[in-house]
Structure 1
């Protein structure tokens, strides 16, 4: 299998550039704080057809992807959880992790199905805003996203959220197979990554490679770590530890997987490379 991973790294090396992460500048996000709005605003965009939406249509779990305008970047996972018209939990694969205890949240959803969500961290962490419209089937929201990182860089793009069916919506079998992508540390130095999981979410093998030199930074053998859902309604996996053959550890605060089984992302710490994040696709 390592031969296949090596071929994967060769292809990725043609696509990734060492040390540079394109980012957009910009001002901060605006948030008025407080609890969720009543959804009685005039709205815009709408879904047409005379359908009138209510805040109850937004209640539940929504998971999906953030798609960057800058195509040099990779998609990220995202979810929001709404209960009784209030955002109770949200996270995105770049490291943002919010709830009412650590963030000021403004949520509005009007009768035309327009969502306006602003999250401002109280921990000098990431801020996120989403603006989008729900479809008439009440199971999908599409729109635009802005994330202001703690270092002042900006992620801008579009998003798609799909309604989760609740507990059991995600199964660990979604992770089975080979994933490829990149990890970057706080200095935006890239490392190419490939990892294979079995049907139970256990690591089969993995490698992290310096794309500039093609040297292996870390290799991981069968059983080096495993994935277990902390919440299978939103595809969240917490406290993942993967141990390298060299004794190094790769620890993820959380990982998110999408319901198509095509994207994994999340923040973590490599014991030798430092803090960073990973985005894996297939």
Structure 2
């Protein structure tokens, strides 16, 4: 597999991401991103403009020539979350995979540039426990300070390297919207019928659907592979599963154990609903410990 840092096709992408490797100070700021105040020009943006919880979507592009290519033919778009403290220092991220980047818990570290006069900044979340993943975001905050758009790259070591080299997993565009805080999302946001994919990477896709009533109970659905169908149990074992959100500021529910009709159980490590209530996505663990990812669309 071609290494990203040695791939000529990736040079243009890396030139954009060069912002990320500017040293940060104090765990969050430091290093100008090229858009900062110069020549006495005042900066209308402050690091504190990034404070709060942000929810949004990662949308992969075709990524021609990189190890994981073909955009959504290989890796589906997914919801993700970042959170910054009151000083605008990013400390937490759920990237849509099974990993959680949590600076306070010691599972990640963050490198972050200053925010420039045009609202541009960069941030890198580096996962520490397995030393495999890092998520790079290069974004621009709007004038209303409630929306960030930009480009991302999620990289992972997929073969033995010297330790300083990483390989591309996927890259594309992202959007984040500022949450109003606790209560921004409600359990009722999960009510309805959802269907879509449960997958690892192509061609390993299966169909998945779920219907959630106003009490948060599962009333229909299951997982369907090319050869078998695994309905969710409707005997009461899946009642009230989605009745409470774990975090109403980011639309997250975690550790949801769903029982199949056969008695086998699968676990949603976490599920995120997007701000528009269109998608539910997250990682799913089966009874053998295998991780897949689901993306369900409201019907």
After TM superposition, the structure 1 = structure 2 runs for residues 131-280 of structure 1, keeping only pairs within 5 Å, are: 131-149=138-156, 151=158, 154-185=169-200, 189-210=204-225, 212-213=226-227, 215-221=228-234, 223=236, 224=238, 226-227=241-242, 228-271=244-287, 274-280=290-296
List runs of 5+ in structure 1 lacking aligned partners.
1-22, 45-49
Q: Which range moves more in the overlay, 88-97 or 153-162?
A: 88-97
* CA distance in 1 between partners of 2:52 and 2:43 (Å): 20
After TM superposition, the structure 1 = structure 2 runs for residues 80-159 of structure 1, keeping only pairs within 5 Å, are: 80-83=82-85, 84-100=87-103, 101-108=106-113, 109-123=115-129, 124-149=131-156, 151=158, 154-159=169-174
TM-score by length of 1: 0.80
* CA distance in 2 between partners of 1:81 and 1:24 (Å): 33
* 205 and 113 in structure 1: CA distance in 2 versus 1, 3 angstrom threshold: same
* 1:76-103 superposed Cα distances (whole Å, 9 cap, x missing partner): 1111111123112111222331011111
Q: CA deviation at 1:268?
A: 2.4
Q: Which residue of 2 aligns with 1:56?
A: 48
Q: CA deviation at 1:232?
A: 0.6
* 1:206-232 superposed Cα distances (whole Å, 9 cap, x missing partner): 11001x33x313433264251231111
Number of aligned residue pairs: 253
* CA distance in 1 between partners of 2:132 and 2:97 (Å): 11
Q: Decide whether the 8 Å contact of 1:59 with 1:81 is kept in 2.
A: yes
Q: Decide whether the 8 Å contact of 2:123 with 2:136 is kept in 1.
A: yes
Q: CA deviation at 1:56?
A: 1.1
List runs of 5+ in structure 2 lacking aligned partners.
7-16, 37-41, 62-70, 159-166
Root-mean-square deviation (CA, aligned residues, Å) is 2.7
* CA distance in 1 between partners of 2:259 and 2:24 (Å): 41
SS of corresponding position for 2:48? helix
Q: Decide whether the 8 Å contact of 1:185 with 1:274 is kept in 2.
A: no
Q: Decide whether the 8 Å contact of 2:49 with 2:88 is kept in 1.
A: no
Q: Decide whether the 8 Å contact of 2:153 with 2:168 is kept in 1.
A: no
* CA distance in 1 between partners of 2:262 and 2:140 (Å): 49
Question: Does residue 34 of structure 2 align to residue 42 of structure 1?
Answer: yes
TM-score by length of 2: 0.76
SS of corresponding position for 1:63? strand
- With CA pairs under 8 Å and 6+ residues apart, which has the higher RCO, 1 or 2? 1
Q: Decide whether the 8 Å contact of 2:56 with 2:174 is kept in 1.
A: yes
Q: Which residue of 1 aligns with 2:81?
A: 79
Q: Which range moves more in the overlay, 162-171 or 181-190?
A: 181-190
* 78 and 272 in structure 1: CA distance in 2 versus 1, 3 angstrom threshold: same
Q: Decide whether the 8 Å contact of 2:149 with 2:175 is kept in 1.
A: yes
SS of corresponding position for 1:194? strand
Q: Which residue of 2 aligns with 1:7?
A: none
